[in-house]
Amino acid sequence: MIELLPLILATVITAATPLVIAALGEHVVERSGVLNLGVEGMMIMGASLGFAGAVVLDNSYLGLAIGALAGMVMAGIFALFALGLATNQVATGLAITIFGLGLAGLIGQPFVGQPRPPIPALVFGLDPIVCLSFVLMVGTAWLLNRTRAGLILRGVGESHGSAHALGLPVLKVRLLAVLFGGLCAGLAGAYLSLIYTRFWSPGMTAGRGWIALALVVFAAGSVWRLVAGAYLFGAILIAQLHAQAGAIGIPSQFLSMLPYLMTIVALVVLSMAGRRGAGAAGSLGQPFVPDR
Amino acid sequence: MRSAPPLIRCQGLSKTFGTLKANDSVDLLVESGEIHALLGENGAGKSTFVKMLYGLLKPDAGTISWLGKAVTLADPDAARALGIGMVFQHFSLFDDLTVLENIAIGTAGARADQAFAARVSALAREYGLELDLQRPVWTLSAGERQRIEIARCLLQEPRLIVLDEPTSVLTPQEAENLFASLLRLQAKGAGILFISHKLEEVRRICTAATILRGGKVVARTDPRKESARSLAALMVGEGVADVRPPSTLETGRDLLAVRGLSVSPEIAHGIPLRGIDLTVRAGEVVAIAGVAGNGQSEFFAALTGEGGLIQSGTVSIDGEDVTRRPIGMRRRLGAAFVPEGRLGHATLPQRTLSENIMLSWHETEDVGGFFLSLDKLRQAARKIITRFDVRGPNADPRAAQLSGGNLQKYIVGREIERNPRLIVVDQPTWGVDARAASLIRQTLVDLAGQGAAVLVITQDLDEAFEMSDRIAVICAGRMHPPVPTRMTNREAIGLLMTTAHGEAA
C-alpha cells in the first residue's frame, strides 16, 4: 500500500489539474469583477481544437498551444459582448457554453476514436502541464496579492466606479483578465483530451467547467483554498472510480454522484459560515459603462 | 507680486448632459497659496466642474491652463501628473480592500508593502489623521473613510488640492486639524479649491470664493468680507430661512427609553456599546453628537432591532419593552427610522420611489391585501413628492436617479407621512444642500412641536445645536447623558466627543 502512495498521489493530481488550471483562470476573471459562465464552452473548445491540431500537426505540444488559443478566442467573443457592448454577463456566458459545446462537437467529428501517444513525464512522473499548473498557482497568488497589477485588478473588481474615478482602466483590466481566463480554460480542455484521456469524444468535459466555477466560489478569494478544493475534488473522483472497481455494495450511480454532491456540500457549508465580504468581488457580474 | 501666472485658470468651461447645461461657460482662477471656495447648492454644477478639473469629464467647450500653459486633461492620470489632487465627496474607496491597499491603489506605482505603510504612517502623523492601516474599509464609518481619501490625496504632494465637502464628517477639533494642515499646504505654495456648505468655515479660511448657481458663475467675492447669510443668499438667489427654534411646549411622556444598554458587535472591528441610558420624551428633539465610528451605527441598529448581540439593558418604545422585538413591532408602536445609508439601506436604488414605500410601510400602513395595490403606492409617493418638494427626472423615478438631497427629503417624508410618534434619524442632512437640509430640519422640529419624540444622530454640530432641545454625546461606545442645548456650547460638546463617558478628561 505504501509503495502505491506516490502512484495514487500522481493520479489524483492528474485528475485535478484541468480543474486547477480552469479555476485559476476563472478566479482571476471573477476577481476583476466579471462573471464568465462560459468556462465549460471554452474548455470543450480547447479540448476539441487542441486534439484536432495535435492530430493534424502530429504534435501534442502544439495541440496544447492551439487548445489554449481556442479558449482565448472564445473568451475574446465573450469580452466583445459582455465588456464592449455591456451585455448581461450571465446570459452571454451561457451562450458561450452552449455555442462552444456545439461547435466543438462539429470540429471534433472526424477525430472521434483516434488515439494520441502519451506525453513523456517531466519530473517525478508528472507531465509538463502539471508542473505548469504549480507555477500558475504560485504565480496567480503572487500576482493578485503582492503586485500593484494585482491590487488594481482586485480594485477594479471590488468597485468599478471607484476604480474609474481614480483613473484606472477598468475595461482594459477586465479584458486582459477575461483573455487570461480563456487561455487557462482552453489549456485545461486540451489537457483533458491530449493528456488525461488521450482521445476526443463530444461532451468530454462532462461539467468540469461548472465545477471550476463552483471551486471559485468555494475559494472565497483565496487561491490556496481553490487549489485545496480542486485536489479534494480530484481525490473524490479517483476514490469513486476505485470504489466502483472494488465492487462495494453501493450502486455505482451513487458513487458517481459523490464529486458533485461534495461541491454542493462545500458551497452550503461555506455560505453558512460566511458573513459579509466572504468571497465575491463587489462589482461581480455588473456591466461597466464609463460616463463620458 | 502677480507676475507669476496663476496656478490654474479655467475659461468658458461648459458641459451639457442631454438638455441640462450642468456648466455654462464657467471661469475660475486659483493662485498658488490661495484657499479658494467654490460655493453653490447641490445641482449648481460644482461636481461637474471639479470632475472636468480632474480629467473625469471632458468639457464640451472652454480651456484650462496650468501655470500659464494650455493643457488637456484626458484622464485623472494626466491631472495627477500635473499635480492636481482630489478628495471626493462620494468616496472612491474599495470596500473589501484594507485601508493601506486603498491608499496604495490611488498612488502611482505604489504597492501595499511595509515600506509604503511606513510612508503613510509618517504622513498620517504629520497631518494628524488617525488611520488603522490593516482594517478593511467596509468596517469603517463615513468619517474614517474620508480620512483615507485625504491621506491618499496628500500623499501625491499635489500643488492644487480639490476638497469636496471635507469637514462634513469631522468634529470641530478634527476640522481644526484639517485647517491647520491646509494652512501648512498653503504656506508651502499649494493652491486649494474648497467646496463646503459650512459658510462659517469658508469665511474663516478661504481667501476667495466663486459662486455657482444653475451652472453659471453668479458672483466672485472675498468671503472674509461677507456674512454667512449674504453668501447663502448668493448661492440660492434668495434668503435661506433659519430653522425656527424648537418649541418650548411642555414635554410629554417617555416615548423612547434606553436603560443600561450594552451590545457587542456582530462584525469584527465593530464598536461595542456599554451601559447606554437615554430618554426621549414626546415633544422634544434630542441630538446625539459624536465623531463617526464611535458606536452611532451600532446604537441605531440596536434601536431598530437590526443588529448587534444585546448583552444587557432594555429598549422601550412608549413603555413597551422591545429589546428583542423586530423592527415591524417597533413600527407598530409608532416608531419610524431613517438610516444613514440612503441607497441600499433606506431605499432599493434600482426601484421606483413608489415601490420603495413598501420598505417601511408594509407592517403598519394599508398598501393592499394579498396583492399589492400599486395605485395606493403611487398615490402615497405623489403625496410625499408634492409635500416635500422632491425633484426628479420624471413622475416616479428610480431612487438612484435622485440627487442626495432630494432622495433624503423623500425618505424623511416617507417616514413622516406615517405620522410616527417617535422618529430616529441617523445623519439627516449628510451631503445635502443648504435648502434641502433646512427643510428637513424644519420638518423634524415641527414634528416634535406636534408632540412626537425626535432623536437625531448627527456628526454636524451646527445641526445638533440648531435643532435640538437636548444634546447627548457618544464616544467609544459610551454615552454622555444629554444636557439642555441652551446650557452648553460647541467647545464643551466638542471636548466630550473625544472623551469616553466615565473616563477622566
Banded pLDDT at A278 (limits 50, 70, 90): low
pLDDT over 60 (residue B247): no
Lowest mean pLDDT segment, chosen from B200-214, B308-322, B347-361, B427-441: B427-441
What integer is the mean pLDDT of B73-95? 83
- Please tell me the distance in Å from A289's CA to the nearest CA on chain B: 13
Q: What is the interface pTM, i.e. ipTM, of the complex?
A: 0.81
Residues of chain B with Cβ-Cβ distance to A168 below 8 Å are: 105
How many beta-carbon pairs under 8 angstroms link A with B? Answer: 70
pLDDT over 60 (residue B318): yes
Cell 477525430 belongs to residue:
A111
Pairing relationship of beta strands B320-321 and B216-221 according to DSSP bridges: unpaired
pLDDT over 70 (residue B245): no
- Decide if A289 is inside a domain: no
Cβ contact B92–A281 (<8 Å): no
- Please tell me the distance in Å from B79's CA to the nearest CA on chain A: 10
pLDDT over 80 (residue B270): no
Residues of chain A with Cβ-Cβ distance to B104 below 8 Å are: 148, 151
What integer is the mean pLDDT of A2-19? 86
Residue B109: other Cβ atoms inside 10 A: 7
**pLDDT tens column, B209-231:** 999 887 889 888 898 888 877 88
Provide long-range contacts, Cβ within 8 A and 24+ apart, for A224-232: A224/A141, A226/A20, A226/A23, A226/A24, A226/A27, A227/A20, A227/A137, A229/A23, A229/A266, A230/A16, A230/A19, A230/A20, A230/A23, A231/A12, A231/A13, A231/A16, A231/A20, A232/A262
Cβ contact B94–A162 (<8 Å): yes
Q: Quick one: closest CA in B to A292, which residue?
A: B57
Put simply, whether B76 touches A (Cβ < 8 Å) is: yes
In angstroms, the Cα distances linking B79 to A142, A223, B49, B315 are 31, 36, 14, 52
- Which of A152, A161, A164 lies nearest to residue B105, judging by beta carbons? A152
The pLDDT assigned to A283 comes to: 80
Helix A128-146 vs helix A170-191: crossing angle, to nearest 10? 160
Structural domain count, chain A: 1
* Helices vs strands, H then E, count in chain B: 17, 20
pLDDT over 50 (residue B121): yes
The residue type of B361 is W
- Decide if A126 is inside a domain: yes
Residues of chain A with Cβ-Cβ distance to B101 below 8 Å are: 151, 154-155
The pLDDT assigned to B240 comes to: 53
Classify A247 as helix, strand or coil.
Answer: coil
**pLDDT tens column, A144-163:** 999 999 999 999 999 898 89
Whether the CB-CB separation of B364 and B332 falls below 8 Å is answered with: yes
The pLDDT assigned to A141 comes to: 95
pLDDT over 50 (residue B503): yes
User: Domain containing A200: what range?
Assistant: 5-272
d(CA B237, CA B234) in angstroms, rounded, equals: 5
- Decide if A175 is inside a domain: yes
pLDDT over 70 (residue A124): yes
Q: Which of residues 79-138 of A touch B (CB under 8 A)?
A: none
- Please tell me the distance in Å from A165's CA to the nearest CA on chain B: 6
- Decide if A284 is inside a domain: no
Pairing relationship of beta strands B422-426 and B453-458 according to DSSP bridges: parallel
**Widest CA span of chain A, in angstroms?**
66
Banded pLDDT at A139 (limits 50, 70, 90): very high
pLDDT over 50 (residue B485): yes
The pLDDT assigned to A292 comes to: 47
What integer is the mean pLDDT of A249-268? 76
pLDDT over 70 (residue B25): yes
What integer is the mean pLDDT of A255-284? 69
Lowest mean pLDDT segment, chosen from A83-87, A267-271, B251-255, B256-260: A267-271
State the best of A158, A222, A275, A283 to mutate against chain B, taking most chain B CBs within 10 Å. A158
pLDDT higher at A247 or B160 = B160
Residue A5 cell numbers, joined: 502512495
What integer is the mean pLDDT of B169-179? 73
In angstroms, the Cα distances linking B339 to A72, B143, B252 are 46, 16, 25
- Which of A162, A165, A277 lies nearest to residue B138, judging by beta carbons? A277
Put simply, whether A273 touches B (Cβ < 8 Å) is: no
What integer is the mean pLDDT of A97-117? 92
What integer is the mean pLDDT of B442-468? 90
- Decide if A277 is inside a domain: no
- Decide if A172 is inside a domain: yes
A169: domain CATH number is: 1.10.3470
- Decide if A287 is inside a domain: no
In angstroms, the Cα distances linking A152 to A185, B41, B103, B480 are 23, 35, 12, 43
Put simply, whether A281 touches B (Cβ < 8 Å) is: yes
Residues of chain A with Cβ-Cβ distance to B93 below 8 Å are: 159, 162
The pLDDT assigned to A125 comes to: 75
Banded pLDDT at A220 (limits 50, 70, 90): confident
The pLDDT assigned to A275 comes to: 47
Put simply, whether B153 touches A (Cβ < 8 Å) is: no
What integer is the mean pLDDT of B362-381? 88
- Which of B57, B80, B92 lies nearest to residue A162, judging by beta carbons? B92
The pLDDT assigned to B268 comes to: 58
Instruction: State chain B's mean pLDDT as an integer.
Output: 85
Residues of chain B with Cβ-Cβ distance to A275 below 8 Å are: 267
Cβ contact B112–A281 (<8 Å): no
How much of chain A exceeds pLDDT 90, in percent? 58
Cβ contact B95–A281 (<8 Å): no
pTM: predicted TM-score of the whole model, two decimal places = 0.69
Cβ contact A168–B101 (<8 Å): no
**pLDDT tens column, A182-194:** 999 999 999 999 9
Cβ contact B105–A161 (<8 Å): no
d(CA B360, CA B334) in angstroms, rounded, equals: 12
How much of chain B exceeds pLDDT 70, in percent? 91
Put simply, whether B105 touches A (Cβ < 8 Å) is: yes
In angstroms, the Cα distances linking B217 to A66, B2, B45, B213, B235 are 61, 23, 10, 6, 10
**pLDDT tens column, B146-161:** 788 888 888 888 899 9
Banded pLDDT at A110 (limits 50, 70, 90): very high
How much of chain A exceeds pLDDT 70, in percent? 94
Put simply, whether A145 touches B (Cβ < 8 Å) is: no
What integer is the mean pLDDT of B251-269? 85
Put simply, whether B35 touches A (Cβ < 8 Å) is: no
- Please tell me the distance in Å from B105's CA to the nearest CA on chain A: 6
Q: Quick one: closest CA in B to A167, which residue?
A: B76
- Decide if A232 is inside a domain: yes
Q: Which of B81-90, B162-171, B357-366 has the highest mean pLDDT?
A: B357-366
Banded pLDDT at B74 (limits 50, 70, 90): confident
Cell 472510480 belongs to residue:
A241
Which among B133, B142, B148 is positioned nearest to B87, based on CA atoms?
B148
The pLDDT assigned to B118 comes to: 93
Residues of chain A with Cβ-Cβ distance to B52 below 8 Å are: none
Cβ contact B111–A154 (<8 Å): no
pLDDT over 60 (residue B504): no
Residues of chain B with Cβ-Cβ distance to A146 below 8 Å are: 111
